[in-house]
Structures are given as C-alpha cells and as structure tokens.
Structure 1
Amino acid sequence: MARRKRTSAKRESALASRLRAWRQKTMRTALRLVLLVAGAVVLWVLAYSVINPPSTPYMLSEKARLDGVRHQWAAWEDIAPQMPRAAVAAEDANFCLHWGFDMGAIRAALADGRRRGASTISQQVTKNAFLWHGRSWLRKALEALITPVVELTWSKRRILEVYLNIAEFDEGVFGVEAAAQHYFGVPASKLSGTQAARLAAVLPAPQDRSAARPSGALQKRAAAIMDGAATIRRDGRAACFED
C-alpha cells in the first residue's frame, strides 16, 4: 500500500513538473511573440520617419469601398506654410508643447463629458498610419502605446507632414495636395490663408463639410482658425515645425 502511494505521489509530482514546464514554455513563447510584434511595429514606425507611407489601412478600405481614392503626396516644401499652421490651430494648438498627449485637453474633455476633442495630431497620425478607425479599447490602447514611439523617433515637422498627407478632406480625397486640387483647383503650394483655413475646418469630419461650399458655421470656424494660426505663429507655438 505504501509503495502504491509513493508511486502515485511520484506520478503526480512528474505531472506537476510537466505542467509547470509547459506553462513556462507557453509563457516564453508568448513573450517572444509579443516582443516580435513590438519590434516589427517599432521598425514600421522608424521606416515611416524617412519613407512616405504609400497608403494607410483606412485608405485601403475606402479604396475598396469606393473603387478608388484620390491621393498624391506633397513634400513639406511643396505645401503652403499657411496650411500647417491652420491644421495645428484647428486640431492641436499645443502641438509643439506636448509629447504626444495633451493632458490639459484630456482633463478638460473628461470634465466636460466630451466624446472627442482631446486627440492630438500625433495620435491622429498614429491612428491613420498604423491602425484602424473605430472606438474599440484595443485600438485606443495600441494608439497610446505607439504614439510615444512616433514622438520619440519623428520630428514634429515630419509628424505634421505625414498628417497633412494622409488625412481625409472629402470622401475618398486624401492628403492636402489632392484636397487643394479637388476643392480649389490649385496645388498645395499655392493655397491661400483662407483656403488653408477652410481645408483645416473640414477636419476631422469631411463627409459632413465642404471647403468649396462652406456653410455659415464652417466659415466662422475657418475665420477662427485663421486667427488661431496667426496667434500660434506670433507666440511661438509654431516654432517646432517652422524653424
């Protein structure tokens, strides 16, 4: 009887050891997989710091839905300087002051119960360039993890350049070059201050707004953006991408 008990105990001990070994192996494999994916994402982010994104996940989905989109890359020097200032004034006035997240805007949005309004240009670039659209917690978590990597490895000018080139300005119209041609029949380098403000005013809901046929509300928003663009240029909040 004692021998049977010892044999049973040995079997249970061996089974427990195998189970611990399996768990450790599984955890090591999972950790390697996580590190591999994280490394691939970091390399992807680093690549886009010097390589222009040929497309984005959202752009590809819209291309399939609409049977084509309009998109043409415009280098920084081929974009009228009024456009970056207008975009920053419209979407992220403290763009030069934060590290990817505007904590003051986040606290204000939470206090006011707003559903949006705290997302920075850096966060929008991360979402548009690397992720998908939607309100899932997974996407928001990935956005929170990738945005600091973008901020650490890209210049502010590069972040803004990519933003202006992949943002949607009308249904199926992506990037400031295609938008300038679509709405005003001019290249992005020839945009006036008013035109740039109207383009910035349609963000981030271009499906409901038109820069060429602005509503009264959009005209007021564009005027406010022009004032804001002048303000950030004057007080130095445009220095990180203009110097």
Structure 2
Amino acid sequence: MGNIQSYLHKAQEKCDLLLRKNQHIGEVLHKQNELEKSNYEIRLRSTISSCKFLLKNALPFLGHDETEKSNNKRFFIEVLYLIKEDNEKIFKVTLENALKNEKLTFPTIQKDIVNCFSKEIIKFICDEIGKDVFAILVDESRDVSKKEQMDIVLRYVDGLEIIKERFIGVVRVLHTLSLTLKTVIDTIFSNNNFSMAQVRGQGHNGASNMSGVFNGLKSLILNENSFAHYMQGLKRRFEA
C-alpha cells in the first residue's frame, strides 16, 4: 500500500470510513430526522399546553400586535414565553429558536387544537349520557356577520343523580327553517350515537319556526317522539 501518503493508503482509509455504521449517510440522516421529530413534539406539546390553559380559563388567544417588537403579544404567545423560561429543552426549539415554518403558533393551528379539545369534551358528555334519556334546548340567532347559527344544549341527570346542562356547540346553518334545524339536530345525534327516542324534553324560544304548533321544530320532534314534551321552563332557563 506504500506510505501513509500513497493513493492506495488513502483509498483504504476512505473505504474504512465508509463502512463504519455510525458515519454512514443513512445513519446520519436517521439521527437528524429523530432529532427533528423530537423537537417538533416539544413544540407541539408546548402549543397544546398553552391552548389548554387559555381554554380552561376562558381567555382570548390572539392579540392586536404579535410581532417580535410588541411588548404584549396577548395570551397565547405570552403563555408560550412563560412555559419556555424555566425549561431549557423547550427554550431551544420554540418561538424565535424554531424554524420559521415550524413554530406551530399560526391561528389555524390553534383552531385545529381547539377543535380537538372540543371533540374530546363532547365525546365525554355523550359517553356520560350513554343510552339514558335527556332534554334538548335549542336557540337560533345571527352572529355579527349576519350568518345564521343554532346553539344546542343537552340537559340530563348523571350517574350521581346530579342535573347537568352541557353546551354541545354552535352550528352554522344556511337558514332557520324548522326542517333545516331538525335535519341539523338529526345529524348531530347520528354523529354522537344518540337517538331521538332518548329525548324526554325540549325547550325553544317563542319564534314560530321553533315553537310553532304545526310546522315548528317542536312539532317536528313531537311527530317523531311523542315523549319529547315541550316545556316552557326549559326555554326560560336556557335563555337566562
């Protein structure tokens, strides 16, 4: 092979390096991918923790000015800053230390996480009701953009015989015709494994599309389930 400077010796050295597993290109890429995956999970957990705190305390997410020069970026970003202060691992991979396209702070990401929390909460409520009976409270109104929407609340007694009223959500509807509202309710029931036969009470506002004797939502539900009695008290309690 000649001396250490010979071509054969250098070729042998490069071959030995190539055959070393820990220096193989595939191994290096694998380690890099594992590190990126770990950093991504740290950022995601931090974002989820921030969302969880704000939801639990009914605090707003976004601020008027969330630029780096802002002294008050509002709650979501400020909570992230607070989380990372005492954790070196989080500090190294979040906010300004993260890749620009992987900060996981964009509003659509926040909404996706909030929707996941919402689905888990609704699932818990539905599991708590199970196959028992309940009352449904429905109201409809326009939001600030003049789009029609329907609010749904379920009232039931849990296993400890405690009366509970649980807000299921606000559903956007094309219009407020009674048949449309009934179709939306049927869809929600189907998605959560409920049956109209479980309804033992219903409460609505006094509008004709809701409480009408012949074609109101109240009548459509009664036509399908005669035990779903309309109770004025439920409506007043819901409006309060």
TM over 0.5: no
Structure with higher helix content: 1
Instruction: Report the structure, 1 or 2, having the larger strand content.
Output: 2
TM-score, L = length of structure 2: 0.31
Report which of the two structures shows the higher radius of gyration computed on alpha carbons.
2
Point out which structure has higher relative CO (alpha carbons under 8 A, 6+ apart): 1
With the length of structure 1 as denominator, give the TM-score of the two structures: 0.31
